[in-house]
């Protein structure tokens, strides 16, 4: 039996999985309680993407002997691969009950918590893994990812550098370091990092990608295209989904700058396909957001609204200001301009409204008609607590604006909870808006998954704008619509009426809004690069170069007329 196991193991190590599988099954026909045969056979089934079979084999192994750590770890790994992170966490914890000094288990636990966006728990486990093994370079890299999420960019840089110092050949830490330096506009430090990576990896695709970024930022688009086209992605193992998508995105942006729309679209489309197929993104469902839009459109009719019991906000509560609009409509530009004002603070893209909506559904079961005063105050207080938590400037300013484009969906809810709310709605030519969403990559969630095809992007725009029109028609909301194009053409003329809506005066410092963006080093949106530069007109009517083959104008004509872009 031992000889057969040795033969099977040799086949497995050589990659001859079918022969190895046949030998392992032969052993099991004689002795079906051999744990290590069951575990090795499970690893083969995992490799063959037969995950159910692999899970059954590992669970059978645990039934025979629950103290073999490999079975628990591998079950955790499979469930992690399947994006079932809660199951993965349970098995990793079982493994820690067997051996609490295994740094790899803490690292894997951290990864599952990271995927669940439980960042405190993720950090705890990454730190534990590097305490056990101070040279566990992957934990430093992932701590860098967490620091970036928490907007502690220099701490992120330090962790990436620590990972590289332990293992200079860990290409992913180099990628993360170069990416964050580029988005922080630290171009001199970026060049040093590129040179360091090049000295180790030569003409590796990741090195060439960042070299091309330097060329793109210098407007040397032909050279960038030539360099990127020299890359043979298929020749390199270990290139991640994110890195492949970034590669195609850079080619798309380079061709777009050369006015070669068809080639640009080809590469933007490839980038979106990769994002859509990323295993981590399989947990998202675009239909969840579309379903919520349908629910809101069905509910917020005049008949239902008439049944609402009148509620009032306390006079000592500040007015609520929301900056909303379709993604890529100019909300980040408005954010940057407005936060330059001495009396305005902005909370950018934080999930505060989803948090209070969860509490609303829990307390009131989603019923808008009879709202209990005590429950209402709890929801309002939670909102203000979260606003104070996220405020960058802890000093008191006259106005705090909550900027989140997707809060457009929840205008009805927000008006009900905060009747004195004011809404700033950013508009942009519908075709430019839709195209820009398609050609820019977002941090993925249910809503953003709608931008991975041009057809879904058009549909999402139609759904959002139909809902916004309904809110304007059926609710007495206080709102101000402002067009991106007008801002670009004449900043003072078009921002002054908005400031009047906010009961503020013009300040000349607003002309220097791009300096505010540079000082903040904020990198959370696809617009991070544009808002650090003076206003430019190149993005206006970009869609016309693409519409010969995209044909989106006709599908959006209703909104082109509605917002007077015709």
Sign of CA dihedral 230, 231, 234, 236: positive
Q: What is the pLDDT of residues 430-482, one digit of tens each?
A: 999 999 999 999 999 999 999 999 999 999 999 999 999 999 999 999 999 99
Annotate 66-87 with DSSP letters as a single string. TT-HHHHHHHHHHHHHTT-HHH
**CA-to-CA distance for 438 and 457, rounded, in angstroms?**
7
Annotate 300-326 with DSSP letters as a single string. -SHHHHTTPPP----TTSPPPEEEEES
Cα–Cα distances in Å, from 516 out to 509, 531, 539?
10, 9, 21
| Spatial CA neighbour of 223 closest among 199, 249, 251, 245 | 251
φ, ψ for residue 140, nearest 5 deg: -60, -40
What are the start-end ranges of the E strands in 190-325?
321-325
The DSSP output letter for 468 is H
Assess contact for 555 and 508: CB atoms under 8 A: no
Answer yes or no: is pLDDT of 254 > 90: yes
Answer yes or no: is pLDDT of 380 > 90: yes
The DSSP output letter for 320 is P
| Cβ neighbours around 50 below 10 Å, total | 14
For the chain, what is the largest distance between any 2 Cα atoms, rounded to a whole number of angstroms? Answer: 86
> How far does Cα 33 stand from its chain's mean position?
45
The H or E element that residue 425 is part of is strand 422-427
Q: What is the pLDDT of residues 317-371, one digit of tens each?
A: 788 999 999 999 999 999 999 999 999 999 999 999 999 999 999 888 888 988 8
User: Three-state DSSP class for 541?
Assistant: coil
Strand order in the sheet with 321-325: 344-348, 399-403, 321-325, 422-427, 478-483
**CA-to-CA distance for 300 and 290, rounded, in angstroms?**
16
pLDDT of residue 519: 67
Q: What is the pLDDT of residues 129-140, one digit of tens each?
A: 999 999 999 999
Q: What is the pLDDT of residues 61-84, one digit of tens each?
A: 999 999 999 999 999 999 999 999
pLDDT of residue 46: 93
| Spatial CA neighbour of 139 closest among 172, 116, 182 | 172
Assess contact for 540 and 530: CB atoms under 8 A: no
> Length of the chain in residues, anyone?
566
């Amino acid at each position: 039996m031992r000889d057969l196991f040795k033969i099977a193991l040799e086949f497995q190590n050589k990659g001859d999985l079918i022969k190895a599988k046949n030998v392992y099954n032969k052993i099991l026909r004689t002795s079906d309680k051999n744990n290590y045969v069951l575990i090795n056979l499970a690893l083969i089934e995992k490799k063959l993407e037969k995950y159910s079979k692999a899970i059954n084999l590992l669970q059978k192994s645990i039934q025979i002997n629950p103290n073999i750590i490999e079975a628990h770890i591998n079950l955790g790994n499979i469930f992690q691969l399947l994006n079932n992170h809660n199951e993965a966490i349970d098995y990793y914890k079982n493994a820690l009950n067997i051996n609490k000094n295994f740094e790899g288990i803490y690292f894997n636990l951290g990864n599952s918590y990271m995927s669940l966006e439980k960042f405190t728990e993720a950090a705890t486990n990454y730190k534990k893994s590097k305490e056990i093994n101070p040279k566990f370079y992957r934990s430093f890299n992932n701590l860098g990812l967490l620091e970036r999420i928490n907007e502690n960019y220099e701490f992120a840089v330090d962790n990436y550098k620590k990972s590289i110092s332990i293992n200079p050949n860990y290409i992913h830490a180099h990628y993360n370091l170069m990416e964050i330096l580029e988005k922080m506009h630290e171009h001199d430090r970026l060049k040093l990092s590129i040179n360091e990576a090049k000295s180790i990896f030569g003409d590796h695709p990741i090195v060439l990608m960042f070299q091309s970024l330097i060329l793109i930022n210098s407007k040397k688009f032909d050279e960038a295209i030539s360099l990127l086209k020299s890359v043979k992605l298929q020749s390199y193992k270990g290139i991640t989904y994110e890195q492949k998508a970034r590669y195609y995105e850079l080619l798309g942006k380079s061709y777009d700058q050369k006015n070669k729309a068809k080639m640009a679209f080809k590469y933007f489309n490839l980038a979106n396909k990769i994002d859509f197929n990323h295993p981590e993104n399989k947990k998202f469902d675009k239909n969840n957001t579309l379903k919520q839009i349908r629910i809101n459109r069905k509910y917020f009719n005049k008949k239902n609204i008439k049944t609402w019991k009148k509620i009032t906000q306390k006079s000592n509560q500040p007015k609520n200001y929301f900056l909303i609009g379709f993604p890529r409509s100019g909300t980040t530009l408005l954010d940057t301009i407005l936060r330059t004002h001495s009396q305005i603070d902005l909370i950018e893209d934080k999930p505060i409204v989803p948090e209070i909506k969860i509490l609303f559904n829990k307390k009131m079961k989603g019923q808008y008609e009879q709202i209990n005063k005590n429950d209402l105050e709890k929801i309002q207080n939670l909102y203000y607590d979260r606003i104070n938590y996220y405020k960058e400037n802890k000093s008191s300013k006259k106005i705090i604006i909550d900027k989140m484009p997707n809060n457009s969906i929840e205008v009805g809810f927000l008006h009900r909870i905060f009747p004195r709310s004011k809404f700033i709605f950013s508009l942009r030519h519908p075709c430019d808006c839709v195209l820009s969403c398609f050609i820019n990559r977002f941090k993925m969630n249910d809503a953003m998954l709608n931008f991975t095809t041009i057809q879904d992007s058009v549909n999402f725009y139609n759904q959002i704008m139909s809902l916004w029109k309904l809110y304007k028609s059926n609710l007495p909301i206080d709102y101000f619509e402002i067009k991106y194009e007008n801002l670009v053409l004449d900043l003072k003329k078009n921002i002054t009426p908005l400031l009047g809506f906010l009961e503020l005066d013009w300040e000349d410092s607003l002309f220097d809004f791009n300096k505010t963006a540079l000082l903040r080093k904020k990198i959370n949106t696809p617009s991070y690069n544009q808002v650090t530069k003076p206003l430019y007109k190149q993005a206006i009517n970009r869609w016309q170069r693409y519409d010969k083959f995209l044909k989106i104008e006709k599908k959006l004509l209703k909104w082109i007329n509605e917002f007077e872009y015709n």
